[in-house]
Amino acid sequence: MERRESLPLTAVDYRKGDIKHQITGVVKPVMQGYKFQSVKEFKALLGLFHVTVEEVHKTIKGKTYHGLVYAATDEKGERTGVAIKSSKIGKSVGYEALQKKFAKSKQWIARHPVPVQTKEVIATALQGQPTRQGFLQELSGKGIAAILWQNDSGVIYGVTYIDHNSKTVFKGSLLGKEYSASVINRKYGTIPPEKTEEAPVIHPSEPEMKEPGLVEGLLDIFSPESYPYPADDLTQSPYGKKKKRKRRGPHLG
């Protein structure tokens, strides 16, 4: 994937132990220094440093509490080791702080368009690189990571760009249609057998599909201990392939 040289922080190595300290060394600088507008963008950014995050919502006596848990991932993006509650790291990386970060980032990005240089670098790589790997590597050498979101059939349905130069995370469609996931998919992905864009099917009665997470029935964030998580219960990488969405809607790219 993206080359290690483009990463300004040190990625977590679960083999070295002291996971809490390592995760703290990634999460705090990322929260302070980068701008991103959603959990998906936050996860994509953390994924570069072998960290993942999940939201936790729990109702106790009629009151709903919200929290975050962080965990290390291996080279394949599969979580490993112990999940760390955000409260163990500090309020600056907790749920409320993250929501405030989204709001501030949205305001900042609205006032500061993506740099022309960044758009030119992406356009040049997209036009000149015939392979996906070449595209990713060229951007990486320029300080930009491209996270391609695809379903099980290999169709790329979203792209997240992480510009380490401006420390900004943004979806491809923010740059314009010529940079979007549909363009990326035509060149580097799999063309779907049937085109459904003209008549999208929406099922309002069906619950929105959740991405595989750290906390699906396993974590009680409000207990005093963190819980170990076996890596074999992760079905998808936090920044690799994703399941097909049940309905069309706003997405990255």
95 secondary structure, DSSP code = H
pLDDT in tens, 3-48: 333 445 889 988 888 899 999 999 999 999 999 999 999 999 999 9
- Residue 242 has a pLDDT of 45
Token pair 């951007």: residue: 139
pLDDT in tens, 160-219: 999 999 999 999 988 888 888 999 999 999 887 765 555 555 555 444 444 444 443 333
* pLDDT beyond 60 at 107: yes
Among residues 25, 48, 250, 23, the alpha carbon closest in space to that of 163 is found at 48
221, 56 contact by CB (below 8 A):
yes
What pLDDT band is residue 237 in, cutting at 50, 70 and 90?
A: very low
Token pair 């080279």: residue: 75
Locate 244 and state its tokens: 């097909």
Give the C-alpha separation, 104 to 189, whole Å. 34
- Residue 125 has a pLDDT of 96
pTM above 0.75, yes or no: no
